[in-house]
Amino acid sequence: MRPFLYVPVYLFGVALALCGAPSRAASDESLAQRANNLLQHRCMVCHGCFDAPCQLKLTSQEGLNRGANKEKVYDGERLIAANLTRLFDDGFTTNQWRDKGFFPVIDSTKPESSVLYQMLDLKQAHPLPTQGPMPESFDFRLDREQQCPKPGEEMADFREDYPLWGMPYGLPGLNSDDHKTLTQWLTTGATLLSQKPLAQVVADQVANWERFLNGTSNRERLMSRYLFEHLFLASLYFPDEAGTWFRMVRSRTPPGEPVSVIATRRPFDSPGKDAFYYRLQRMPDTVLIKRQMPYVLGQARMDWYRDLFLKPDYNIESLPDYSEPEGANPFHVFADMPVRSRYRFLLHEARFSIMNFIKGPVCRGQVALNVIEDRFWVMFLDPDEIDPAREQQFLRAHADELGLPLPERGSAIDLLAWRKYSKSQQRYASARSDYLGREYTEFGRRLDLDSIWDGNGNNPNGALTIFRHFDTATVVDGFVGTVPKTAWVIDYPLLERIHYLLVAGFDVYGSVAHQLESRLYMDFLRVEGESNFLAYMPIDHRAPMRDYWYRGAGEDTLKHIRARSAFNRRAPDIDYRSDQPKHEFLRAQRSRIFAAGSAGAGLESELPASWLESLHELRGRASSSYSFMPQVSFVNIFGQHGDHVVTLLRDSGYSNIAQLFWEQERRLPEEDQMTVVAGFLGAYPNSFFQVSEQDLDKFVAQVNALETTADYEALLANYGVMRNSSWFWRVSDKFHRMQQQRAGVEAGLFDYNRYQHRLPSAVD
């Protein structure tokens, strides 16, 4: 047997399943309830997304029964698209999953021989050392070679060769009560809690929505297709019924019958020649933050959809088909649908629209995310600035040029088509620039502060902050932190293409060619968003500002970017009063856009003044000291003035983000900054710290004085919660309780696959 070079990630979650949350000994609580609680807080925190180790997803009975698979979902070297293995889509019986290479992790006939039981038992026999550094044998890299031993000989070899690798992997083991609960649960059938029947009020709303989504007129059918292609990832729920979750699917069966999902690789792929129906399928109740995208339905939403899509006066003479490439191009498919209606749909829930890119299929991946800065602000063109008829005519005329990369063969040969997309995008950028030039000179459109959407005075989606955490990201309402290096202004065609590139059209099982094309095309979209923002700057500031963003990118790259930059001939209709127009513009928008300036209010409203004074020393300054800090740190501050959590976010500095590779060579640690927010921000914490209020000044001073990894090691020794800290789970459970109280429908379980155990590199 060859040596195991890396840890079985799946084993991590396996053990997690076997590692419990604090024991709940209430006599009226069933074994399944107690086991479910343990699985949630010790296993699902690593086994919930596409990147669940060994594809072991423990969020449902179906995932537990499906088991594990040795094939990776995220594979940056895959030359040919992989077979699909999506839970609830690509298999529905145990035999179907076995045919796809999944093997069992539980065993009703010999439970003590099952993988879960063995991994739990291994941890009990060889607990993790709680003193000193983690043993060198542990490897927590996301791209490590996963070891997924099957029951029997493989599991026996694993136990003998790697005694410390029991579950939970690289974290403290279960206490005796929790161990007893899970082993008893495994030996009595390993059955998770079954879902409660739908309340009648919910069942009635589901039936009402399915009638609405399956209207027979062409307008109704096109509307439902548009909704499905934008909401297929949403965590749907009804008012006052959060916790009962649904997703929109296409089904072979009509409303009133059990759902029979039509599984396609992408939501705009053909559902087949037979009749199909849009249905609401109930989903597991367990929620993970990294996948939670709540979207409320209800009567008010339905009435709004009618006003938006069905009441306007327009005709759909014939429905578009699903044939490619037109069927994959929203500017062809929905060309007859009012453009203002489409834009208002996306804009009304703009954070949700962006969140799909961040939490959807691209929920992990540096290649997909190193196309954006670590923190930037986003705002949107006011839909009332658009002349509907002229915009509709322009988009119809240039629909072909707006086509997005479409994998044709699922192999590296798809890259040969890249030049076609690049040239099309350049033609579109030039045409858009000319079109907008006419809008400003011939039709009186203005480039002023009021042309940015202000949220209509009541919608917090008008201003967003996007954070990148190396290979994950987060989007929040409002302008968070100090004025960032870059900002975007997004209009309808840009927002729609972001969705179809990185959500509807992104295939996590796709080949490396598909992933590279998606990343390269996103370069164009970033430049477009930045150029829209630069249009509001004085003409003589635009080139220097853009060149600063792309320092060291090379003349060829700058020429490529300039060729795709619009609005370079029109001065803004803004009377700037300072020599810092970017700051002046963004601060003005922070004041006028609804709720844009309230994003940092949590610190001021929740924390004592003395704490704020200390934390203020971490904000608004650039320092290489922060390069030693993790990307996302949860800091628990406690004392006589309260018990709170703040998140420290490292905003990494780069000379430019215009290149796909050699990211470390473009790192500028001296430009790193720290953003501090109240509560929890991010689904993937890298570290936990606990600081008493008496020590807060010392903690901040230590962070600001970091110069070496030894300094960071001292910080961890004083305040850090390490992977092998005996109190790790106690802090984890506390944070989950606090987050549940704060986040409402967006609450869920954190993911610990990125939790650090070694010192971060100063340039990672």
- pLDDT tens, residue by residue, 12-25: 333 333 344 444 44
In a domain, 81, yes or no: yes
Q: How confident is the model at residue 363 (pLDDT cuts 50, 70, 90)?
A: low
d(C-alpha 112, C-alpha 464), whole Å: 51
Q: How confident is the model at residue 132 (pLDDT cuts 50, 70, 90)?
A: confident
**Is 26 a residue whose pLDDT tops 70?**
no
pTM over 0.75: yes
User: What total number of domains does the chain contain?
Assistant: 4
pLDDT digits (tens, 9 = 90+) for 62-118: 999 999 999 988 877 777 888 899 999 999 999 999 999 999 999 989 999 999 999
> In degrees, to the nearest 5, what angle opens at C-alpha 655 toward C-alphas 649 and 661?
90
> Do residues 64 and 166 share a domain?
yes
Mean pLDDT, range 169-195, rounded to an integer? 91
| Token reading at 547 | 């060149």
Instruction: State how beta strands 235-237 and 673-678 pair.
Output: unpaired
Contact assessment for residue 214 and residue 255, using Cβ atoms and an 8 Å cutoff: yes
d(C-alpha 366, C-alpha 382), whole Å: 32
Domain boundary among 187, 213, 237: 187
Give the pLDDT confidence score for residue 27 in this predicted structure: 36
> Do residues 233 and 162 share a domain?
no
> Do residues 165 and 205 share a domain?
no
Which 8-state DSSP code applies to residue 737?
Answer: H
In a domain, 75, yes or no: yes
- Kindly report the average pLDDT of the chain as a whole number: 89
Q: Compute CA distances 411 → 82, 218, 417, 513, whole Å.
A: 10, 37, 12, 6
In three-state secondary structure terms, 490 is strand
In a domain, 252, yes or no: yes
d(C-alpha 137, C-alpha 154), whole Å: 19
Mean pLDDT, range 282-306, rounded to an integer? 94
d(C-alpha 384, C-alpha 595), whole Å: 20
> Do residues 701 and 609 share a domain?
yes
In a domain, 27, yes or no: yes
Q: If you count them, how many residues does the chain have?
A: 764
Contact assessment for residue 167 and residue 15, using Cβ atoms and an 8 Å cutoff: yes
Helix or strand run (H / E) with residue 690: strand 687-692
> Do residues 213 and 114 share a domain?
no
Residue 490 β-bridge partners: 380
Contact assessment for residue 493 and residue 335, using Cβ atoms and an 8 Å cutoff: no
d(C-alpha 660, C-alpha 434), whole Å: 30
d(C-alpha 459, C-alpha 310), whole Å: 23
Give the pLDDT confidence score for residue 14 in this predicted structure: 38
In a domain, 402, yes or no: yes
In a domain, 342, yes or no: no
Strand order in the sheet with 720-721: 673-678, 642-651, 632-639, 687-692, 720-721
For the chain, what percent of residues have pLDDT higher than 70? 91
pLDDT digits (tens, 9 = 90+) for 403-444: 988 876 655 566 667 778 888 888 998 899 889 989 988 999
Give the pLDDT confidence score for residue 603 in this predicted structure: 83
Residue with more model confidence, 426 or 303: 303
Give the pLDDT confidence score for residue 6 in this predicted structure: 32
DSSP structure string for 197-248: PPPHHHHHHHHHHHHHHT--SHHHHHHHHHHHHHHTT-EEE-TT-TT--EEE
pLDDT digits (tens, 9 = 90+) for 687-738: 999 999 999 999 999 999 999 999 999 999 999 999 999 999 999 999 999 9
Residue with more model confidence, 341 or 367: 341
Mean pLDDT, range 335-345, rounded to an integer? 97
> Do residues 430 and 578 share a domain?
yes
d(C-alpha 55, C-alpha 138), whole Å: 20
> Do residues 214 and 177 share a domain?
no
In a domain, 169, yes or no: yes
> Do residues 382 and 473 share a domain?
yes
Q: Buried (b) or exposed (e) across 720-740, using 16+ Cβ within 10 A?
A: bbbbbbeebbebbebbbebbe
**Is 4 a residue whose pLDDT tops 80?**
no
The gap between the terminal CA atoms of the chain, to the nearest Å, is 35
Contact assessment for residue 679 and residue 647, using Cβ atoms and an 8 Å cutoff: yes
d(C-alpha 724, C-alpha 195), whole Å: 35
Domain boundary among 129, 154, 187: 187
Give the pLDDT confidence score for residue 411 in this predicted structure: 55
Mean pLDDT, range 189-213, rounded to an integer? 93
Mean pLDDT, range 369-387, rounded to an integer? 91
Give the pLDDT confidence score for residue 423 in this predicted structure: 86
Domain boundary among 275, 295, 322: 322
Give the Cβ contact number of residue 635 at 10 Å.
Answer: 20
pLDDT digits (tens, 9 = 90+) for 651-673: 999 999 887 777 888 999 999 99
Mean pLDDT, range 630-634, rounded to an integer? 96
> Do residues 545 and 618 share a domain?
no
Give the pLDDT confidence score for residue 267 in this predicted structure: 96
> Do residues 716 and 588 share a domain?
no
> Do residues 384 and 235 share a domain?
no
| Token reading at 736 | 């989950």
Query: Which range scores top for mean pLDDT: 23-27, 470-474, 559-563?
Result: 470-474
Q: How confident is the model at residue 600 (pLDDT cuts 50, 70, 90)?
A: low
**Is 463 a residue whose pLDDT tops 70?**
yes
Residue with more model confidence, 471 or 602: 471
Give the pLDDT confidence score for residue 29 in this predicted structure: 56
Q: How confident is the model at residue 564 (pLDDT cuts 50, 70, 90)?
A: low
**Is 762 a residue whose pLDDT tops 60?**
no
Question: Domain range holding 30?
Answer: 9-187
**Is 601 a residue whose pLDDT tops 70?**
no
> Do residues 204 and 298 share a domain?
yes
| Sequence-ordered list of residues with C-beta below 8 angstroms from that of 361, at least 6 positions apart, any chain | 50, 503, 506, 507, 508
In a domain, 762, yes or no: no
pLDDT digits (tens, 9 = 90+) for 214-253: 999 999 999 999 999 999 999 999 998 888 999 999 999 9
**Is 462 a residue whose pLDDT tops 60?**
yes
Q: Which of 18-22, 153-157, 391-395, 580-584 has the lowest mean pLDDT?
A: 18-22
Mean pLDDT, range 555-564, rounded to an integer? 73
**Is 517 a residue whose pLDDT tops 70?**
yes
Give the pLDDT confidence score for residue 24 in this predicted structure: 42
Residue with more model confidence, 485 or 72: 485
Give the pLDDT confidence score for residue 369 in this predicted structure: 64
Burial zone of 24 (CB within 10 Å; 0-12 exposed, 13-18 middle, 19+ buried): middle
Mean pLDDT, range 348-374, rounded to an integer? 79
Give the pLDDT confidence score for residue 467 in this predicted structure: 95
